[in-house]
């Protein structure tokens, strides 16, 4: 199997950067008294990270290279990301220190947290400097190899991440022959998939931060021989943060129906769901929806409503049908 351009130096950056984006968002959403003093820098950091994610995701999709100058740039990117990640780890320590060791009262925030706020801001400046170095290295690499990435400077965190994710879809193929540290999770999910139980529980969610291995876990389960034998139909769909009921329904239908005609391109959502219902009625299927995001930009009930709408036809599979 061909290696990717970034992976050739023993490193895939996008999961690390996604996790860094999540960390920065948690700082923005925190209620710490010193947060407001550095909120502008935090938003800048989130924006720069999402821009880098779009560029690095493009670099990861490129063919392997043995050009020494290319490899040198990739190693510089790797070093800079790890340095920035270390500084974010220090942020976490500052956060813990301010909560546990300050012994300050909420009524005196400015006196208690001013030193932490100054230290945090200084660290932020260092992080931004390191990440600008990453972005410069990544863009230089893309310029040299003649690749381009579509991104908008100053875009919001959600749109930047969505853009990057659309360029880096997942599939059911497992890159590694063996995974480590997830035996109990695998056992419990396989038990739920394969054993008869509460048939009203047809959907199981695997939840965790970006980059912790949810996709790899799902790939491992999807490719189990006993799973392939148990389910007459297996489907893998990469959702990404750019949620679109019409696109996702059409993609699921294309996997469930062998003779989907060209006319389906003009079908509306209702027509697609009617056809999907008919396709699933006689099948015990497994559907994996990977790379699912919760859109924090809309109300919770809207998130729930659009998922209920998307998943409605799945209720018509035969007993034992499952969605993960």
- Same-domain pairing of 209 and 312: yes
> Would residue 176 count as lying in a domain?
no
pTM of this structure: 0.50
DSSP string, 164-217: HHHTS---S--SSS---S-HHHHHHHHHHHHS---TT--B------TTSSHHHH
Query: CA 121, CA 61: separation in Å to the nearest integer?
Result: 35
- Same-domain pairing of 192 and 117: no
Residue 238 bridge partners (DSSP): 290
Which helix (DSSP H) or strand (DSSP E) does residue 234 occupy? strand 233-238
Round to the nearest angstrom and report the end-to-end CA distance of the chain. Answer: 27
The mean pLDDT of the chain is 70
Residue 89 pLDDT level (bands cut at 50, 70, 90): confident
Q: Which two tokens stand for residue 90?
A: 């220090």
- In angstroms, the Cα distances linking 225 to 1, 221, 230, 288, 302 are 22, 9, 9, 16, 38
- Same-domain pairing of 132 and 20: yes
Residue 288 bridge partners (DSSP): 236
- Same-domain pairing of 105 and 195: no
- Same-domain pairing of 85 and 158: yes
Structural domain ending residue among the three candidates 166, 201, 227: 166
Residue 176 pLDDT level (bands cut at 50, 70, 90): low
Provide the CA 181 distance to its chain's centre, in angstroms.
20
> Would residue 178 count as lying in a domain?
no
pLDDT of residue 318: 82
Q: Is 262 exposed, middle or buried (0-12, 13-18, 19+ CB in 10 A)?
A: exposed
- Same-domain pairing of 136 and 187: no
Residue 95 pLDDT level (bands cut at 50, 70, 90): low
Query: CA 272, CA 241: separation in Å to the nearest integer?
Result: 22
Q: Is 212 exposed, middle or buried (0-12, 13-18, 19+ CB in 10 A)?
A: middle
Number of domains in the chain: 2
Structural domain ending residue among the three candidates 96, 131, 166: 166
- Same-domain pairing of 16 and 70: yes
> Would residue 35 count as lying in a domain?
yes
> Would residue 173 count as lying in a domain?
no
> Would residue 34 count as lying in a domain?
yes
- Residues 11-53: pLDDT tens digits? 556 777 777 777 777 776 765 655 556 667 777 777 777 777 7
Instruction: Show the domain range for 193.
Output: 183-323
Helix (H) and strand (E) counts for the chain?
11, 3
- Same-domain pairing of 148 and 232: no
> Would residue 134 count as lying in a domain?
yes
Three-state DSSP class for residue 19: helix
- Same-domain pairing of 81 and 204: no
- Same-domain pairing of 63 and 162: yes
For 97-118, letters b (16+ CB in 10 Å) and e give: ebeeeeeeeeeeeeebbeebbe
> Would residue 172 count as lying in a domain?
no
- Same-domain pairing of 121 and 90: yes
> Would residue 105 count as lying in a domain?
yes
Domain with residue 262: its CATH number is 3.40.50
DSSP string, 243-294: --HHHHHHHHHHHH-TT--GGGGG--HHHHHHHHHHHHTT--EEEEEES---
Structural domain ending residue among the three candidates 112, 141, 166: 166
- Residues 250-277: pLDDT tens digits? 888 888 887 766 666 667 888 888 988 9
- Same-domain pairing of 188 and 300: yes
Query: CA 251, CA 249: separation in Å to the nearest integer?
Result: 5
Rank 21-30, 138-147, 287-296 by mean pLDDT and report only the highest: 287-296
């Amino acid at each position: 199997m061909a290696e990717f351009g970034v992976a050739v130096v023993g490193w895939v950056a996008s999961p690390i950067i996604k996790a860094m984006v999540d960390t920065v968002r948690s700082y923005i959403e925190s209620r710490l008294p010193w947060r407001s003093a550095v909120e502008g820098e935090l938003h800048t950091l989130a924006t720069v990270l999402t821009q880098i994610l779009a560029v690095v995701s493009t670099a990861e999709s490129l063919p392997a290279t043995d050009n020494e100058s290319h490899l040198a740039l990739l190693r510089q990117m790797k070093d800079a990301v790890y340095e920035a990640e270390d500084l974010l780890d220090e942020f976490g320590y500052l956060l813990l220190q301010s909560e546990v060791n300050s012994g300050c009262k909420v009524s005196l925030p400015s006196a208690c947290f001013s030193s932490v706020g100054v230290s945090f801001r200084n660290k932020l400046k260092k992080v931004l400097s390191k990440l600008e170095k990453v972005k410069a290295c990544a863009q230089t690499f893309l310029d040299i190899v003649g690749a381009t990435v579509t991104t908008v400077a100053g875009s919001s965190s959600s749109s930047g991440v969505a853009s990057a994710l659309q360029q880096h879809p997942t599939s059911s193929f497992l890159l590694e022959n063996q995974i480590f540290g997830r035996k109990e999770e695998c056992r419990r999910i396989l038990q739920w998939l394969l054993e008869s139980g509460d048939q009203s529980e047809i959907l199981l969610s695997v939840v965790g931060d970006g980059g912790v291995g949810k996709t790899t876990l799902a790939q491992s389960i999807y490719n189990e021989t006993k799973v392939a034998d148990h389910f007459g139909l297996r489907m893998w769909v990469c959702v990404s943060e750019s949620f679109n009921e019409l696109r996702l329904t059409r993609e699921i239908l294309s996997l469930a129906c062998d003779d989907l005609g060209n006319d389906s391109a003009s079908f509306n959502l209702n027509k697609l769901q009617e056809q999907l219902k008919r396709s699933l009625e006689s099948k015990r299927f497994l559907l994996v929806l990977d790379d699912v995001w919760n859109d924090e930009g809309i109300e919770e009930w809207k998130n729930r409503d659009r998922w209920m709408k998307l998943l409605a036809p799945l209720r018509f599979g035969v007993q034992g049908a499952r969605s993960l």
